[in-house]
Amino acid sequence: MSAYDELMAFTRETEALAQVAGLLSWDQETMMPRGAAAQRSEAIGAMESVLHARRTDPRLAGWLASAEAPDEGGAAQLRLLRHDHERAVRVPGDLAAALARLTSHAQGVWAEARAADDFAAFAPVLREVLRLKREEGAALAAGGDPYDALLDGFEPGARADDLQAMFDDMRPALVALRQRALDAPERAPLCGDFDADGQMRLARELAERFGYDFSRGRIDKAVHPFSSGGGDDARITTRISHDDPFNCLYSTIHEVGHACYEQGIDKAWHLSPVGHGVSMGVHESQSRIYENQLGRSRAFCHFLYGRMRDIFGDIGVADEDSFYATVNRLHRGHIRTEADEVQYNLHVMLRFELERALIAGDLQVDDLEDAWNARFAADFGYPVGRASEGVLQDVHWSVGLFGYFPTYSLGNLYAGCLHEAMRADLPGLDDDLAKGEPGAATGWLRENVQRHGGLRTPRETIARACGGKAPAAGPLLDYLEVKFGALYPA
C-alpha cells in the first residue's frame, strides 16, 4: 500500500470518528435528557482527545512527506490534510480536550442564562471559554495574530484586516438603504396563531422542494437552528414561533442550503477532507442564496403565499404583493437570525468587532454586555431591552466559535456573486420559482459549487462558479439596491 493510500485509510477512520462526535453534539441540542449534560461533556471531551491524538499522530508527518497525489482530487486531499495537521500539532492535546469539555458544558449554561435573561449567570463560564480560546489562538498563530489563526479554521486564508476593510466598504451603502426603508411607514408582520404542526408540515415540503434528501437527513427542533453532519447523514433543525411562521420556514430553507451542500458533494469523497464544504463562507453562501435570493424572491413568494393559505387559511395579508413586501420588510429588531437582508450584515459587523477585541484582550467579559448594548444603540438607533435580545442571543461564543461570525457576511458576498452568475445562465428561473420549483437553481449550485466540496480554495470555488470573476461586494450591493429600492423607493 502506498503512503497516500495508508494516509487516506487512516484519515477515513478519523473522519468516521468525527461523525460520531458530531452526533453527540447534535443529540445534545435535540434529544438529550437535560440531566445528562455533565456526562455528555465528559463523553465529548473523551472523543476530542481521541480525535486530537489521531490528528497529531506521528505517522501523519511521514505519510504527508512521502505521499504522491494520484490526481487533482488527491492533491486537494493532501493540501487540506497538511493544513489541518499543521493546525492540530500546534494545539496541546490537553487544551483540545479541555475546550471540548468546557464548551459542551458552557452550551447548557448559555441556554439557561438566555432563558433567564441573565448574562451574569453566563459570564463566568464564558470567561473560561475565552481564556482557553486565547490560548488556542496563540498556539495556532505561532507568533502571528491569534484572531487570524482562529478565523483560518473557518475560512482558510482569510485575514481579519481584509474583512474589516470589506465591512467598511459595505457599511455606507447598507446604512443608507436601511435608513431609507426605516424612514417609510413600517410594514406590519403577519398576525395570527400559526399551528405548529402546519408549520412543520410546510417546512418539510419546502425542504424537499429545495432538494433535501430525507433518506439521508432529518428535521428536528432546537433552540438555535443548525445543520449537522454530512455525506449520507446530513441533519438540520428548525424552531417554531406560533406568531411568526417565517421564523420556521426560512430557518428551514437556510439550513437546507447547508445540508444540500453536504449531500451534493461527490460521493467518492465521503469521509475525507475534500468531502466537506470548503469553508464556512462558501457554506453560508449556499444557505443564504437558498433562503434569500431564491426563497424570498417575488416569484417564489407567489408560490409560498398560496401554500400558506392552503395550510393556515387567512394569514392576514390581502394579496401577493403585500405578502412579498411582508416577507422582505425592513424592520427594527434585535435578533440577527430574524434580520432582513439589508441589516443582517450590520449585526455580523457588531459581533466581529466585539469578538476580535475579546481575543485581543482589549475587551473583557465583564464589560461585554455594556459594550454590546452601546454598540447596538450606536449602529441601530435604539436600545437593547434584555440580554436574550442582545449579548445572549447567539450560541456561538458558548461553544467557542470565535472567528465564525464574519463568515456569515462573507457568505452573503459570495451568494451575491453566485446569484448574478446563476441568473445569467438561467433566464427562465422566475417561471420555475413561481411554481415552487427551485430545482434548476439548486441543480446549478450543485453542479458549480456543491459537488466539488473542498477540491479548490474558497475564493477559487466561487470564482470558477462565476466564470472566473473574483468575489466582490458589488453584485450583493447591486442586488440589494434593486430589490429593496423597489420595495422602498426614494
The CA distance from 133 to 341, in Å, is: 31
Q: Three cell numbers at 206?
A: 419546502
Catalytic site includes residue 355: no
Q: Of residues 255, 284, 291, 420, which has the active-site annotation?
A: 255
Q: Tell me which H or E stretch contains 235.
A: strand 233-238
Do the Cβ atoms of 449 and 294 come closer than 8 Å?
no
Maximum alpha-carbon separation in the chain: 70
Q: Which of 398, 405, 399, 400 is nearest to 113 (CA)?
A: 398
Residue tagged 419546502 (cell numbers): 206
363: left (phi over 0), alpha (psi -120 to 50) or beta: beta
Asked if 125 and 112 count as a contact pair (C-beta separation under 8 A), the reply is no
Cell readout for 89 is: 500539532
| CA dist., res. 382 & res. 370, Å (int) | 14
Contact present, 4 and 68 (Cβ < 8 Å): yes
Q: Which residues contact 104 (CB under 8 A, 6 or more apart)?
A: 25, 28, 37, 40, 41, 44, 45, 399
For residue 138 the three cell numbers come to 496563540
The catalytic residues are 255
